[in-house]
Chain A
Amino acid sequence: MNALLHAADAVTTKATTSDPVLNIAIFAAFVVVTMIVVFRAGRNNKSAADYYTGGRSFTGGQNGLAIAGDYLSAASFLGITGAIAVYGYDGFLYSIGFLVAWLVALLLVAELMRNTGKFTMADVLSFRLHQRPVRLAAAISTLVVCFFYLLAQMAGAGGLVALLLGINDSLGQSIVVAVVGALMVIYVLVGGMKGTTWVQIIKAVLLIAGAGLMTIWILAMNGFDMNQLLAAGNQAAAAAKKPFDALAYGNQYKNAIDFISLGMALVLGTAGLPHVLMRFYTVPTAKEARKSVVWAIWLIGAFYLFTLVLGFGAMYIVGPDVILAAPGKTNAAAPLLAQALGGPILMGIISAVAFATILAVVAGLTITAATSFAHDIYASVIRRGEVSPNGEVKIARITVVVIGIAAIAGGIGVQGQNIAFLVALAFAVAASANLPTIIYSLYWRKFRTRGALWSIYGGLISSIVLIAISPVVSNAAPAATSTAMIKGVDFHMWDLSTPGIIAIPLAFILGWLGSIIPGGKKENSWLGAEMEVRSLTGHGAEKEVAH
């Protein structure tokens, strides 16, 4: 125990003096290995199905790992561990929402989506409705979700650098954001979906193994006695500058309605995230899509159980005060814990894993957004299908570069701003603009084009408006201490910082109303029957590409 206290002391004094050279070297090794894999994977990209879906040739297990790699962002690794370390169980509420959400994907969405779609979410939504308007709406909401998510990840990359590499000036951080953006573009441009998937698989293995190793380490230090770990954590929490009860909920979230609103968005948003949905097309059959979700649920669930142990470990080994004083605040908990346990080498590995995490997630978002733009907006809406698959992939590649530039510019532009709410917003848009239409399309025959448009645009607009007038964008706090995105101005009109509780039910109601009110375009009932038969039987589903 004494040795541990010393370790904690050592952390206090050199919290920011990790070894940047070592961290960069380990990260560079990751980049080299993934680049080799991506270049090898890219050689087989011949058709559109190759580029967008990796030829639909991944197994359920591989895809499950890739889903975990796509889904477990730096926010879940660093953010949740840190939140548990400084607030106790509240961080745990987050991770449970992220996990339970997968039941929606498993039970309602994954298989039927795989059976009826080709490359994008819009394929499924426009299957039996009027093509162009529905496709356009679905593509817009796909792009919005991807862009918010991407921006949050890029901004996170800047913050992470300050913490891990000791780069604190804004020029240095901008350079790192640019490097992350450039690597992401190369992965996606060269490797397509196959390369991106392998990056995600490698990252998932590293992340889960790294977190698992630290978890076992901490448990071993406590004689594999959870009770002892909780006691140690709680003691540290009680001794913190701002003491809290680590074994209770409600330390971080004071507004219960706000938390319920967030919980709804987390649970219903996952199955509407376009980059997650696209992963279902990378396997050959619906049965493999089911297997991928099962793998993903076990991996993600195990990982979130690890974060509980890591959070309590960081609570007593590093301490809430040290974490909050470190650059990066709660995000510093996991790297500092790694340093206390295994010294600079383990910290370097965990830091590199955190970077790899950001890279894999942004690559997945980029290929999803590019596919949606090229396949839905360019090929189907602008050119009305009069475009060869090669022409489409060419547009997708150009889009990748454009998104890369926009992401770098955006990531540099939002530096230092508090935009953590963007991830919650992306989930809220996915839950309100995407999920209702997906569920209605797959399960309700009377669903019509007008309902789809009302639901998608209604969910999208209400989410964004509610965020814009919420206290996370502007509030009454003085500019110096304000945590809002826009400081010193106050135009907030309602008090919830998450829009889910209004936007999600609203989108469901709009989809229903738009479909039952008489008038509007007629739907093709034959296509309705075809979609349902195909969704359940898998007849006519897109096949694996043979090489």
Chain B
Amino acid sequence: MSTETPEKGHHRIDYPAFEENPTYKQLKKRQRSFVWPVLVAAMAWYITYVILATYASAWMKTLVFGNISVGLLFGLGQFVTTFAITQWYVSYANKKLDPLASELRGVLEEKQKKGEA
């Protein structure tokens, strides 16, 4: 990258052809099909909370038990979902993404060594 020409090694690999590699296609599909839906859901959940806190503040201050209000539970719920999504993604990436990525890295390094076009 930067303005210097990309290292020669990389250009010997035919990246457009490599994109047809079935393992690569699977890796891409797994990554995309996890991150987008999960992120969109998390954002929707957060926006719901913000909108409720601003437009339905009367309902949000309803006490559920003791001094714990609906609004506080919603707020703490955001913490819980953020932590949960984080751990979910880590275990997904460890199991489903990393093995494929490291296998493909091996293939690419091999190609580069051979100077394959």
Shortest Cβ gap from A419 to chain B (Å): 25
- Assess A99 versus B82: contact at CB under 8 Å? Given A118-B2, A227-B66, A250-B54: yes
Determine if A259 is an interface residue (Cβ-Cβ < 8 Å).
yes
Chain A binding surface, main DSSP class: helix
Contacts of B105 in A (CB 8 A): 537-539
Those of B1-59 within 8 Å (CB) of chain A: 1-4, 6-7, 9-10, 13, 15-16, 18-19, 24, 27-28, 31-32, 34-35, 38-39, 42-43, 46-47, 49-51, 53-55, 57
Name the contact of A297 in the complex, choosing from B68, B71, B82, B98 (C-beta under 8 A): B82
Name the contact of B67 in the complex, choosing from A123, A231, A537 (C-beta under 8 A): A231
- Assess A263 versus B47: contact at CB under 8 Å? Given A247-B61, A529-B18, A537-B101: yes
Those of B98-117 within 8 Å (CB) of chain A: 98, 101, 104-105, 108-109
Contacts of B47 in A (CB 8 A): 260, 263
Contacts of B18 in A (CB 8 A): 529, 533
Which residue on chain B has the smallest CB distance to residue A384? B3
Contacts of B60 in A (CB 8 A): 248-249
The 4 closest A-B pairs by CB, nearest first: A385-B3, A256-B54, A248-B61, A529-B15
Contacts of A107 in B (CB 8 A): 34-35, 38-39, 85, 89
Contacts of A489 in B (CB 8 A): none
Q: Are A227 and B67 in contact (CB under 8 A)?
A: yes
**What class of interface size applies to chain B in its complex with A?**
35 or more
Jot down 5 A-B pairs with beta carbons below 8 A, ordered by A: A97-B46, A97-B50, A108-B39, A230-B72, A537-B101
Q: Are A290 and B93 in contact (CB under 8 A)?
A: yes
Contacts of A384 in B (CB 8 A): 3
Contacts of A31 in B (CB 8 A): none
Determine if A395 is an interface residue (Cβ-Cβ < 8 Å).
no
Which residue on chain B has the smallest CB distance to residue A531? B15
Q: Are A256 and B16 in contact (CB under 8 A)?
A: no
Contacts of A148 in B (CB 8 A): none
Contacts of A443 in B (CB 8 A): 32
Shortest Cβ gap from B44 to chain A (Å): 11
Determine if A301 is an interface residue (Cβ-Cβ < 8 Å).
yes
Q: How far is the CA of A532 from the CA of B53 in the complex (A)?
A: 40
Shortest Cβ gap from B52 to chain A (Å): 8
Q: Are A294 and B71 in contact (CB under 8 A)?
A: no
Interface locus among A71-79, A88-96, A196-204, A457-465: A88-96
Q: Are B82 and A385 in contact (CB under 8 A)?
A: no
Q: How far is the CA of A512 from the CA of B78 in the complex (A)?
A: 31
User: Which of A97, A107, A231 has the most chain B CB atoms inside 10 A of its CB?
Assistant: A107
Contacts of B28 in A (CB 8 A): 532, 536
Q: How far is the CA of A96 from the CA of B67 in the complex (A)?
A: 20
Name the contact of B71 in the complex, choosing from A97, A118, A248, A537 (C-beta under 8 A): A248
Q: Are A301 and B53 in contact (CB under 8 A)?
A: no
Q: Are A96 and B49 in contact (CB under 8 A)?
A: yes
Q: Are B39 and A533 in contact (CB under 8 A)?
A: no
Shortest Cβ gap from A308 to chain B (Å): 8
Q: Are A533 and B19 in contact (CB under 8 A)?
A: yes
Contacts of A529 in B (CB 8 A): 15-16, 18-19
Determine if A278 is an interface residue (Cβ-Cβ < 8 Å).
no
Shortest Cβ gap from A418 to chain B (Å): 23
Q: Are A249 and B39 in contact (CB under 8 A)?
A: no
Q: How far is the CA of A126 from the CA of B35 in the complex (A)?
A: 23
Q: Are B3 and A253 in contact (CB under 8 A)?
A: no
Q: How far is the CA of A249 from the CA of B57 in the complex (A)?
A: 6
Q: Are A89 and B108 in contact (CB under 8 A)?
A: no
Those of A57-107 within 8 Å (CB) of chain B: 89, 92-93, 96-97, 99-100, 102-104, 106-107
Q: How far is the CA of A231 from the CA of B72 in the complex (A)?
A: 13
Query: Quick one: CB contact mask for A274-299 with B, threshold 8 Å, 1 for yes?
Result: 00000000000001001001100110
Q: Are A253 and B67 in contact (CB under 8 A)?
A: no
Those of A286-335 within 8 Å (CB) of chain B: 287, 290, 293-294, 297-298, 301, 304-305
Query: Quick one: CB contact mask for A340-374 with B, threshold 8 Å, 1 for yes?
Result: 00000000000000000000000000000000000
Q: Are B79 and A103 in contact (CB under 8 A)?
A: no
Q: Are B109 and A539 in contact (CB under 8 A)?
A: yes
Shortest Cβ gap from B58 to chain A (Å): 8
Shortest Cβ gap from A536 to chain B (Å): 6
Shortest Cβ gap from A103 to chain B (Å): 5
Contacts of A379 in B (CB 8 A): 2-3
Q: How far is the CA of A89 from the CA of B43 in the complex (A)?
A: 20
Which residue on chain B has the smallest CB distance to residue A263? B50
Q: Are B50 and A385 in contact (CB under 8 A)?
A: no
- Assess A123 versus B1: contact at CB under 8 Å? Given A227-B66, A247-B67: yes
Q: Are A256 and B19 in contact (CB under 8 A)?
A: no
Contacts of A256 in B (CB 8 A): 51, 54-55
